[in-house]
Amino acid sequence: MHIIRYHTSESPAPLVGVRDEGVGVRDEGQVYGLPGVRSLADLWALPLAEIRRRVAERERVPAGDVTLLPPVDGRTEVWAAGVTYFSSREARVEESERSADVYRQVYDAERPELFFKSAAWRVAGDGQTIAVRADSVVHVPEPEVALVINRFGEIAGISSLSQGAAGAAISSRPATSS
């Protein structure tokens, strides 16, 4: 089950609900509205037990009339933690003339680096166009695991690119001079 933001032809304002899992990313599973939840930010302000109660009280919505919206809203921020593969480290060091040492330190640190990814207004939703740097010649999709943590520090959800929800990023790299 996926927690989603959506709108319908009858309600152009964003709504919050859940969608049953389909077989693939774009399968239209059954959609249910969450009564009394105006935004994802409001949902994540609730304790996990209350989130589960709201999901249990969901109301069926005609799936054919649903347009999915980006999976974050309001003042929500998207943060990331971690590093990637050794070969990626070497590529970042090679292309980062002046700050190569920073990348080495990040990869050798005892804990993952925390870094800001995006504000809600910049996140693209399902099937939406993304913006990439005009000077980039390489665009690399990066599947990532996404955790949704509520204000109480409880994990309220988990997603990955393979589940077709939040968690994919694109790295764009400018042309390098040789």
**Torsion angle defined by CA atoms of residues 89, 161, 131 and 88, in that order, rounded to the nearest 10 degrees:** 10
**Is residue 34 in some structural domain?**
yes
Domain of residue 64: give its range.
2-68
Residue 32 inside a domain? The answer is yes
Give phi and psi for 60, each to the nearest 5: -60, 135
Entry pTM: 0.70
Quote the CA–CA distance of 4 and 163 in Å, as a whole number.
13
Average pLDDT of span 136-147: 76
Is residue 48 situated within a structural domain?
A: yes
Distances (CA, A) of 41 to 19, 88, 113, 157: 18, 34, 25, 14
- Whether residue 31 lies inside any domain: the answer is yes
Residue 74 lies in a domain: no
Q: Answer whether residue 73 shows pLDDT above 60.
A: yes
Q: Residue 136: exposed, middle, or buried by beta-carbon count in 10 A (0-12, 13-18, 19+)?
A: middle
pLDDT computed for residue 97 by the predictor = 67
> How high is the pLDDT of residue 27?
52
Tokens 């740097």 locate to: 133
Q: Is residue 29 part of a domain?
A: yes
Mean pLDDT value across residues 53-60: 92
Domain count, the chain: 1
Is 20 inside any structural domain?
Answer: yes
pLDDT at 48: 96
114-119/67-68 β-pairing: unpaired
Residue 95 in domain: no
Per cent of the chain over pLDDT 90 is 20
Of 12-16, 68-72, 129-133, 152-156, where does mean pLDDT reach its minimum? 129-133
